[in-house]
Amino acid sequence: MSDTLHAITNRRSTRAIRVGRVAIGGSAPIAVQSMTNTDTRDVEATVHQIEALLTAGCEVIRLAVPDMESARALHGIRERTYAPLIADIHFNHVLALEALRAGVDGLRLNPGNIGGAARVKEVVEAASERGVPIRIGVNGGSLEKDLLARYGGRPSAEAMVESALRHVAILESVGFRDIKISLKATDVPTTVAAYRLLAPKVDYPFHIGITEAGTRFGGSIKSAVGLGILLAEGIGDTIRVSLTDDPVEEVRAAFEILKALNLRRHGPTLIACPTCGRDELDVISLAKEVEAAIGGVKAPIKIAVMGCVVNGPGEAEQADLGVAGGGRGVSMLYRKGKMIRRVTDRSQLLAAIIEEVKKMSDEHEIVA
């Protein structure tokens, strides 16, 4: 709906895989993932959270499968949602087989950790029959002891890459190539170095993230820095922002990162000035009110909230919808560069903005 977008164009070329209805890698858009934090055995609570994640725009949803009761619960969850689901499994191949029987769309499992070649073959055959891909998820906190010892006792980028390549070799040895890979460390430079190192060695799509990034504020910043570097280099086919919070916040943060690089369009984008002594509108409270009011809007509308006439009209004119403080209590509303309204009563300004957003949103739905 807004201006021509400049996006990152040198995306790493990868083979394409599918997680259910979502294409990953190749020329597919970068997909947003999250993970439920309900007890997977609680089908009701898990389905409820899956629905909340889908409403927020989440495209692939991972669930922890720590035991057989959780694996069996996947049958009930599958019956109640079409969401692309990935079962997260460690060590126990029987859980992977049960998750596949339940109809999950992807497995996150490291083949080197499930107890030998026969078990790998069994899981790979069951996954292949169903067209289900496997994500190899290397985590800096759980590297093999021999690799840690060889690389100085720390989860270095080199050790993570070597671990990933071992798991890849196991799957390739049984002819399985429906793979994606993640290399997550809690440290941004290590994570970035690991993905950079692996990128030229394989053509599998990458799931990228900074693991255990932290709380909403710190974790979002850390993830934005790490994922921003990788995405700007064309690395990354699916992303997760790991936050110690409601997973819906992970989805919101992921889209903000992708939108900041013009890699995806999703819902409104709010531009707001940082305020200074010229602010005529109380931009801080207005921007927060606008942000809260547009939470459920799906249309990719760019909205600018600017405090005064210095930068205000210029920025407001470039947005789909802009407001700028104009002095003496008057505010101007711009739509696609044209001034459409003067609001003389500050208390009516939020209502006027919401009214215009609703009109634009309705028009977008008609066009879409």
Binding site for ligand SF4 (CB under 6 A): 273-276, 278-279, 306-308, 310-312
Q: How many CB atoms lie within 10 A of CB 249?
A: 18
Enumerate residues 6+ apart whose C-beta is below 8 A from 266.
Answer: 57, 255, 258, 259, 300
Helix residue ranges per DSSP H, the chain: 43-55, 68-80, 93-102, 117-130, 145-150, 157-173, 188-198, 216-232, 247-260, 283-293, 312-318, 349-367
Output 277 or 296, the one with its CB closest to ligand SF4.
277
Enumerate residues 6+ apart whose C-beta is below 8 A from 306.
Answer: 271, 272, 273, 281, 283, 312, 313, 315, 316, 322, 323, 324, 325
Output 221 or 276, the one with its CB closest to ligand SF4.
276
Handedness of CA 281, 283, 289, 292 (dihedral sign): positive
What's the min distance (Å) between Cβ of 82 and ligand SF4?
Answer: 45
Output 205 or 326, the one with its CB closest to ligand SF4.
326
Output 86 or 308, the one with its CB closest to ligand SF4.
308
Output 276 or 340, the one with its CB closest to ligand SF4.
276
CA distance 82 to 87: 14
What's the min distance (Å) between Cβ of 316 and ligand SF4?
Answer: 9
The candidate with the shortest Cα–Cα distance to 76, out of 48, 106, 41, is 41
What's the min distance (Å) between Cβ of 83 and ligand SF4?
Answer: 41
Q: 344: number of CA atoms within 13 Å, CB side?
A: 0
Output 84 or 313, the one with its CB closest to ligand SF4.
313
What's the min distance (Å) between Cβ of 349 and ligand SF4?
Answer: 15
Q: Are residues 18 and 133 in contact, defined by beta-carbon separation less than 8 angstroms?
A: yes
Ramachandran assignment for 175, one of left (phi > 0), alpha (psi -120 to 50 degrees), beta (any other)? left
Output 241 or 273, the one with its CB closest to ligand SF4.
273
Shortest Cβ contact with ligand SF4: which residue?
307
Give phi and psi for 17, each to the nearest 5.
-125, 175
What's the min distance (Å) between Cβ of 140 and ligand SF4?
Answer: 41
Output 131 or 329, the one with its CB closest to ligand SF4.
329
CA distance 270 to 365: 20
The residue type found at 47 is V
Output 35 or 283, the one with its CB closest to ligand SF4.
283
Output 32 or 343, the one with its CB closest to ligand SF4.
343
What's the min distance (Å) between Cβ of 278 and ligand SF4?
Answer: 4
CA distance 323 to 350: 10
CA 313 to chain centre: 33
What's the min distance (Å) between Cβ of 277 and ligand SF4?
Answer: 7
Instruction: Give DSSP secondary structure letters for 56-91.
Output: TT--EEEEE--SHHHHHHHHHHHHH--S-EEEE--S
What's the min distance (Å) between Cβ of 324 and ligand SF4?
Answer: 7
What's the min distance (Å) between Cβ of 12 and ligand SF4?
Answer: 38
What's the min distance (Å) between Cβ of 261 and ligand SF4?
Answer: 24
